[in-house]
Amino acid sequence: MTPPNPLSTESPHLDRVPASEIQDRITRFQQWLGDKLLDGAFLLQNVDCYYFSATLQRGVLFIPAQGVPLFMVGKSVDRARQESPLNQILPLPRHDDMVAYLTDYGHRTRLRRIGLELDVLPAARYIWFREKFPDAEFVDVSPGIRKLRMVKSDYEVRQLRRSAAVMDKGYAEIRSLLREGMTELAVDAILAGIARQEGHMGLVRMRGWNQEMPTTHVLVGPDSAVISCCETPVCGPGPSPAMPQGAGFSRIVKNQPIYIDFGVAVNGYHGDQTRVLVMGKLDPVLERAHDCALSILQHLEAVMRPGMACSEIFHAAQTISAKHGLADHFMGHGEGQMHFLGHGIGLEIDELPVMAPRFTAPIQEGMVFALEPKFTFPGLGTVGIEDDYRVTATGVERLTLTEQNVLEIWPISKNC
């Protein structure tokens, strides 16, 4: 008896990467390899492999500058073959078997300049490649991959919209569930749970080494001004020094900002959104700062268009902040002040482009990024907003669905 295969049941939630899109991505990457005079690239990172194969099974994807890619899969070969439109999917029980395949398929002797993902590939694997190809030169292909992944297809935008819808549902539901005295961790649990039920992956993927993030950052009052390890303006104390970010055991208090940064990935694509909620009324200092954040976002929504430099977007926000006398609070304070306003989102939550002074490249149609003007006040907390945008032919489109003001909590009741 052949057992029923749970994978063959096409769930209505599935939306697989079209085969034509995989082919298109490979073709464009091969052009980039050709431009850089590379003979081919070995991709090992799970997300990069997924981008070019439509499967996240564990393996090594060899993409020659010309010709057909070889996907050598450790586990599961069967599943990779079922999910991926690639034609050459081969079992790779041991890493060393790779060399025989390359010889068999005629690639071995042609490889003089080889691409590797040097930003993420562990040193031990890099050393393995150097030993196997002692005469070859190794070049970092991550910039090429990240550049390609920066511009999203219609398929990808559809996935990002799904995540945006889940985030909106989360903020809508949490507003009626919050009570005075609830811990940040309890609020986090509810929001992460809403997202997970809707298909969120249950984790957030980051490319940056050592970077990690839970699904939400829920921080009440002064907690949202606590500086810590994250490469973001807001981090928080977390439950302990071993997890020095995000929700901890602090409790919801009236008239204090409840800062919620929500990262949701449905079918692999991350949305990233921040709202500040309040039970009662915000301190006037925070209220004015939040208005400034909102005006930054609304100004940028009106002026952003293809060709505008990422650095220009950052500087526009910085200038508005300074005009409001908020320069010292813009994107964190003191040691925690960051010099960026936004970042690309997609299969990872820390994609290109980055809206920062040293990113002078222009935004282009199809890019999707989060913009997050925020203001931090030690002892009071952080206010601001984060929304996701897609660059269109003539401007930008907001993917985030939630209203942009500070969200008031209804009903205000006690210790439920």
Instruction: Give, as ranges, the residues between 305 and 334 that touch a second copy (CB under 8 A).
Output: none
Q: Are strands 40-43 and 58-64 parallel, antiparallel or unpaired?
A: antiparallel
- Minimum distance from CB of 202 to a second copy (Å)? 3
Count the site residues for a second copy by CB under 8 A.
Answer: 93
> Given the complex with a second copy, which of 6 and 134 has the nearer CB atom?
6
For 46, 153, 355, the CA distances from 21, given in Å and listed in that order, are: 18, 8, 28
Min dist. Cβ of residue 306 to a second copy (A): 28
Are 89 and 79 spatial neighbours (Cβ–Cβ below 8 Å)?
A: no
CA distance 45 to 75: 14
- The residue among 94 and 109 lying less far from a second copy, judged by its C-beta, is 94
Is the CB of 231 or the CB of 291 nearer to a second copy?
231
Q: Are 273 and 407 in contact (CB under 8 A)?
A: no
Interaction between residue 406 and a second copy (CB under 8 A): no
Nearer to a second copy, 205 or 275 (CB): 205
Q: Which of residues 83-102 bind a second copy (CB under 8 A)?
A: 83
Per CB under 8 A, which of residues 116..145 are in contact with a second copy? 116, 118-127, 140
Asked if 117 and 141 touch (Cβ cutoff 8 Å), the reply is: yes
Whether residue 227 contacts residue 334, with contact meaning beta carbons closer than 8 Å, is answered with yes
Please report, as residue ranges, which positions from 155 to 174 form the binding site for a second copy (by CB under 8 A): none
- Identity of the residue, 234 or 316, whose beta carbon is nearer to a second copy in the bound complex: 234
Q: Which is nearer to a second copy, 76 or 295 (CB)?
A: 76
CB of 318 to a second copy, least distance (A): 20
Contact between 412 and 280 (Cβ < 8 Å) = yes
Shortest reach from residue 229's CB to a second copy, in Å: 4
Q: Cβ 99 to a second copy, closest distance in Å?
A: 19
One residue of 190, 276, 296, 368 binding a second copy per CB under 8 A = 190
Which residues partner with 408 through β-bridges?
278
The nearest distance, CB 73 to a second copy, in angstroms, is 9
Quick check: 239 binds a second copy (CB under 8 A)? yes
Regarding 231 and contact with a second copy (CB under 8 A), the answer is yes
The identity of residue 207, as a single letter, is R
| Closest CB to a second copy among residues 92, 320 | 92
Q: How far is the CB of 371 from a second copy (least distance, A)?
A: 22
Interface positions, 52-81, toward a second copy (CB under 8 A): 54-58, 75-79
Q: Does 4 bind a second copy (CB under 8 A)?
A: yes
d(CA 255, CA 299): 28
One of 214, 306, 362, 366 touching a second copy (CB under 8 A): 214
Residue 203 lies near a second copy (rule: CB under 8 A): yes
Q: By CB under 8 A, what part of segment 259-298 binds a second copy? A: 265-269
Structural tokens at position 400:
């985030």
Q: Would you call 105 exposed, middle or buried from its count of C-beta atoms within 10 A (0-12, 13-18, 19+)?
A: middle
CB of 317 to a second copy, least distance (A): 21
Name every residue whose Cβ is closer than 8 Å to that of residue 231 and which is 6 or more positions away in sequence.
208, 211, 338, 350
Determine the length of the chain.
Answer: 416
- 3-class state of residue 109 by DSSP: helix
The answer to whether 212 contacts a second copy (rule: CB under 8 A) is: yes
* Strand, coil or helix: 404: coil
Binding-site member from 50, 52, 375, 389 for a second copy (CB under 8 A): 50
The CA distance from 326 to 391, in Å, is 28
Residue 227 is a binding residue for a second copy (CB under 8 A): yes
Place of tokens 């003007």: 373
Choice between 187 and 355, CB closer to a second copy: 187
Residue from 55, 131, 51 nearest 346 by CA: 51
| Residue 376: CB minimum distance to a second copy, A | 11
**Two structure tokens written together for 64:** 């020659």
CB of 163 to a second copy, least distance (A): 12
Measured from the CB atom, the residue of 317 and 347 that comes closer to a second copy is 347
Q: Which of 109, 176, 335, 394 is in the footprint of a second copy by CB under 8 A?
A: 335
Q: SS3 of 171, please?
A: helix
d(Cα 182, Cα 269) in Å, to the nearest integer? Answer: 30
Minimum distance of a second copy from residue 291's CB (angstroms): 22
- Helix H or strand E segment including 270: strand 269-278
Buried b / exposed e over 161-185, threshold 16 CB at 10 Å, is bbbbbbbbbbbeebbeebbbebbbb
